[in-house]
């Protein structure tokens, strides 16, 4: 049985932050970025992965898979059944995030649904058949803004971050993506272990290590999938997490989203359908820092017309991985 860490020292926290910014960075690159010996990095990071404190995975970009329908749901549940509902949702292979919100009677989840039939089955059959579910609202994700994925809890300097990982904001349109035969197997393998060696990836995909490396690079550069390091944000000092459902004037939606997604507290930012057309996941050091973010960052944005702030009480699944 894995016994996950309850606290990390400063070195482990900076190593973890580095692997959030660059999930497949080599141990030599991590050591150079942090000014550590490679031996120290190897020794420490092996323990972090071994006990499940860090987990490496990959998440598909639904914009590059036309059949996928990305949907965010806010589900109202009976409080005495909410954990059972959240765990049932987390067991589904089409959920990416599952969080318990607010006063303990609401779940927020993101689905990547395999086409209209899967969407209709969820909304018209599965949810209505669940007695513990009272109501829900559905929001289709129209665009995800990638700069938010560089969240490092302020543990890396801008110089370190720039050296380690390129800015994820696309400066040009993504190149056209033609799926190769090996891609499905590669994506499945990376979802299970985002740091699998090229030899292991080649074995899973029935190809050579060189081909596996080239295809992985093409998948990342083509924004087909995002490599990710999953962990408990509290270990890096984030004690206050919240989802913000923000209503923004349509003409200013893109500018507002880009402004917020670049903020160090923002973990996720996406434009959605519905009266709240922007959903933002925030991870701050404490409630005071969250308050300051709302007043000093969101407050001055004149295009914001309404905001619903919902604190996260518990995370059940994130980046497709169920929490221990």
Whether 276 and 306 have beta carbons less than 8 Å apart is answered as yes
């749901």: which residue's tokens?
73
Q: Which two tokens stand for residue 291?
A: 């308050």
**What is the pLDDT, as a whole number, of residue 3?**
59
Whether 142 and 270 have beta carbons less than 8 Å apart is answered as yes
Closest-CA residue to 95 (of 127, 64, 73): 73
CA torsion angle 292 143 100 309 (round to 10): 30
**What is the pLDDT, as a whole number, of residue 180?**
76
More confident residue, 122 or 168: 122
* pTM score: 0.89
Q: How confident is the model at residue 167 (pLDDT cuts 50, 70, 90)?
A: low
**What is the pLDDT, as a whole number, of residue 324?**
73
Mean confidence (pLDDT) of the chain: 91
* Strand ranges, E, within 92-132: 95-101, 106-114
User: Could you report the per-residue pLDDT of 217-261, keeping only the tens digit for each?
Assistant: 999 988 899 999 999 999 999 999 999 999 999 999 999 999 999
Distance CA 37, CA 50 (A): 20
Burial readout 147-174 (b: 16 or more C-beta within 10 A, e: otherwise)? bbbbbbbebbeeebbeebbeeeeeeeee
Closest-CA residue to 97 (of 68, 131, 73, 66): 73
- What 3-state class would DSSP assign to 6? coil
């969250």: which residue's tokens?
290
77 phi and psi, to 5 degrees? -130, 160
**What is the pLDDT, as a whole number, of residue 162?**
79
User: Which residues make beta-bridge pairs with 213?
Assistant: none
**What is the pLDDT, as a whole number, of residue 124?**
95
Distance CA 146, CA 5 (A): 29
Consecutive H or E run containing 16: helix 10-21
**What is the pLDDT, as a whole number, of residue 106?**
96
Q: Which two tokens stand for residue 179?
A: 């799926």
235 phi and psi, to 5 degrees? -65, -20
Closest-CA residue to 15 (of 159, 164, 146): 164
Q: For the packed helices 209-221 and 183-192, what is the interaxial angle rounded to 10 degrees? A: 80
User: Could you report the per-residue pLDDT of 29-82, keeping only the tens digit for each?
Assistant: 999 999 999 999 999 999 999 999 999 999 999 999 989 999 999 999 999 999
Q: Which two tokens stand for residue 250?
A: 């349509």
**What is the pLDDT, as a whole number, of residue 103?**
83
Tell me: pLDDT of 1 over 60. Answer: no
Rg for the chain, CA atoms, rounded: 20
C-beta neighbour count of 144 within 10 angstroms: 21
């Amino acid at each position: 049985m894995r016994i996950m860490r309850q606290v990390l020292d400063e070195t482990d926290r900076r190593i973890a932050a580095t692997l959030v910014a660059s999930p497949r960075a080599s141990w030599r690159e991590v050591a150079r970025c942090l000014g550590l010996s490679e031996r120290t990095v190897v020794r420490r990071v092996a323990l972090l992965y071994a006990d499940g404190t860090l987990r490496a995975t990959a998440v598909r970009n639904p914009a590059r898979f036309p059949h996928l329908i990305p949907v965010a749901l806010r589900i109202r549940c009976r409080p005495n059944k909410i954990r059972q509902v959240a765990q049932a949702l987390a067991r589904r292979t089409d959920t990416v995030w599952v969080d318990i919100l607010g006063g303990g009677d609401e779940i927020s989840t993101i689905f990547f649904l395999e086409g209209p039939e899967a969407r209709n089955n969820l909304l018209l059959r599965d949810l209505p058949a669940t007695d513990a579910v009272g109501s829900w609202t559905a929001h289709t994700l129209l665009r995800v803004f990638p700069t938010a994925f560089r969240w490092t809890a302020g543990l890396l300097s801008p110089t370190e971050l720039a050296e380690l990982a390129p800015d994820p904001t696309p400066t040009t349109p993504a190149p056209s993506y033609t799926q190769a035969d090996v891609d499905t197997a590669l994506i499945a393998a990376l979802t299970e272990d985002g740091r699998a060696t090229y030899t292991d990836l080649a074995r899973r995909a029935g190809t050579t290590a060189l081909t596996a490396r080239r295809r992985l690079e093409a998948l990342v550069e083509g924004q087909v999938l995002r490599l990710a390091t999953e962990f408990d944000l509290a270990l890096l000092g984030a004690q206050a997490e919240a989802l913000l459902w923000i209503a923004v004037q349509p003409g200013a939606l893109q500018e507002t989203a880009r402004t917020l997604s670049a903020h160090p507290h923002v973990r996720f930012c996406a434009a959605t359908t519905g009266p709240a057309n922007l959903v933002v996941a925030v991870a701050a050091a404490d409630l005071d820092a969250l308050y300051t973010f709302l007043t000093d960052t969101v407050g001055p944005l004149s295009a914001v017309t309404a905001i619903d702030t919902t604190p996260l009480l518990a995370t059940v699944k994130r980046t497709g991985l169920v929490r221990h």
